[in-house]
Structure 1
Amino acid sequence: MTSRVCVVTGAGRGIGRAAAIHLSGQGHRVALVARTESELVSTAAECPGETLVLPTDVTRPDSAGEILDTIAEKWGLTQILVAAAGRNRSAKLDETTDSHWQSMLDLNLTSVFQWLRAALPPMAANGWGRAIVVSSIAGKRGFKHLSAYAAAKHGVIGLVRSAALELAHTGVTVNAVCPAYVDTELTERTIESIVAQAGWTRADALHHVNSLQPIGRMISTNEVVQALSALIDNAGMTGQSIHVDGGLVHG
């Protein structure tokens, strides 16, 4: 197996953390990016291989270029980008403020655009690269009270498809994974929000979230990482948005 230089955004928690640990276990060098340094240090401690802890706010326009330059100075060209930074926030449409709307676009769409814009041209010039964006099943269908988040996630899938077509002849692939509810801290906050807004017990809210997946449970981070790993390995898959949703959405 060829050891690659990787960067994972959102590496402090959830899917990003699981992806970073997996890539490290596969023999790759992994740069860990998120806002909270202590969470990145915790992730690094679980990685068996070489890591860089690079705290930053990925929504800051210059962050992508600065981080990629730092990685290049230490290790060379970034060859695998996993854009896993993201969050959701629920509100009814008529209660979605402009700042709520903008924050969802800034993190879940605009920051991904900025990271792809910075990372993909050097990969293309080098003749090999993989970019994988963690989108959501909310990028494939609507959900009540998630209009801003769903709009951003739909947008990022369009971004992935367009970038993949531009780079299809270069040896670089660009794909997305689209999980349903994953057993992470982010989903725990969703459950807490359901409890607060609907007045349900936590047990009822958890049952509701589990029941949304036809398999009757949340998706594990490992199941998402398995899909991500397949996209790295397969040069013939590009412009795809792979569902990891327990059968929730077809097509």
Structure 2
Amino acid sequence: MSDKPLKGLSAVVTGGAKGIGFAIARRLWQEGADLVLLGRDAAALDSAAEALDCSQVAADVTDAASLERTFGLIGHFDILINNAGAALTKPFGKLEPDDWHAMLALNLTAAYHTSRLALPGMLARRWGRIVNVASTAGLKGYAYATAYCAAKHGLIGLTRALALETAKTGVTVNAVCPGFTDTDLVARAADLIESKTGRNAADARAHFASYNPQDRLIQPDEVADAVAFLCRREAAAMTGQSLIVAGGEVM
């Protein structure tokens, strides 16, 4: 296999400036893809785009009208990575309707909007890759993360159903499900636990790592490897799948 298996292909990565999204973008770039990064943090986007010598567009994936304008400007692309997302931790009794709607808008509905905009071009060319970055929370429950789990379960359902609709078209639709990953999101969660419970952040990180039978946090590059595999031309038989990157947490 070529060391540039994605050469000649173009990719859009939402939430591509930080964490898992940036690791995915970097891996696709290393494998030869032309990139456009989407995100809300303009400064982070500028930094990421400079590092990868690629294009970037500031966009809110929860704003359907903004997305439509953005995708109109981007034009042709072959690969869509729906990575933008965030987690909210609250007891169910304190989960407000606005919390619920915000979690679904970012972690599920945004992927509907981006996929709806990307698919016509992919279907016309009879080739495309859509990869949704879900979570082990799309395959099991976590206490105090009801809305996030519901959204990620929905994202897995979207992946499977859309994969069946596109199975004969040359377009594949898959998901990658990381466990707790060593990103700013986990760091912020650890800091929140420290501020609310008095447990230090290191203990909180160790608690997250304990979910993984390997007793460690997943590294962003490990998630990026799984995503890149699904994007390759050689992965044509992979569709409707949820690749779990979690050290055996979910089997």
TM-score (norm 2): 0.94
Q: Which AA in structure 1 matches 2:219?
A: S
Aligned to 2:240: 239
Please report the RMSD computed on the Cα atoms of aligned residues, expressed in angstroms.
1.1
Distance 1:214 1:232 in 2: 28
* 1:67 has 2:70 as partner: yes
The answer on whether the counterparts of 2:15 and 2:39 sit within 8 Å (CA) in structure 1 is yes
Q: Which AA in structure 2 matches 1:41?
A: D
The answer on whether the counterparts of 1:68 and 1:78 sit within 8 Å (CA) in structure 2 is no
The answer on whether the counterparts of 2:60 and 2:67 sit within 8 Å (CA) in structure 1 is no
Which range moved further: 63-72 or 149-158? 63-72
Q: Deviations over 1:68-91 (max 9, x none)?
A: 21111xxxx110001110000100
In structure 2, stretches of 5+ residues that fail to align are none
Distance 1:194 1:142 in 2: 19
* 1:149 has 2:148 as partner: yes
Distance 1:24 1:159 in 2: 27
Cα deviation, residue 204, structure 1 = 1.4
Which of the residues 20, 24, 28 maps onto 2:29? 24
Q: Which AA in structure 2 matches 1:179?
A: P
Aligned to 1:124: 123
The answer on whether the counterparts of 2:186 and 2:205 sit within 8 Å (CA) in structure 1 is no
Cα deviation, residue 63, structure 1 = 2.9
Q: Deviations over 1:160-205 (max 9, x none)?
A: 1111100010000000000001110011111122223333111211
Distance 1:24 1:7 in 2: 11
TM-score (norm 1): 0.94
Cα deviation, residue 213, structure 1 = 0.6
Task: Give the 5 Å matches for 1:23-172.
Answer: 23-47=28-52, 49=53, 51-72=54-75, 77-172=76-171
Q: Does the residue aligned with 2:120 lie in a helix, a strand or coil?
A: helix
- Equivalent residues, number: 244
Distance 2:155 2:96 in 1: 21
Distance 2:189 2:102 in 1: 17
Distance 1:63 1:113 in 2: 14
Identical pairs, percent: 41
Distance 2:163 2:58 in 1: 28
- The ranges of structure 1 where at least 4 consecutive aligned residues each deviate by more than 3 angstroms after the TM superposition are none
Q: Which AA in structure 2 matches 1:126?
A: R
Distance 1:166 1:71 in 2: 25
Q: Deviations over 1:142-165 (max 9, x none)?
A: 000000000000001100111110
Distance 1:206 1:129 in 2: 37
The structure, 1 or 2, with the larger RCO (C-alpha pairs under 8 Å, 6+ apart) is 2
Distance 2:65 2:161 in 1: 23
Distance 2:213 2:197 in 1: 22
Distance 1:3 1:202 in 2: 44
Q: Which AA in structure 2 matches 1:27?
A: G
Q: Deviations over 1:25-47 (max 9, x none)?
A: 22211001000111011111221
Cα deviation, residue 130, structure 1 = 0.2
Q: Does the residue aligned with 1:23 lie in a helix, a strand or coil?
A: helix
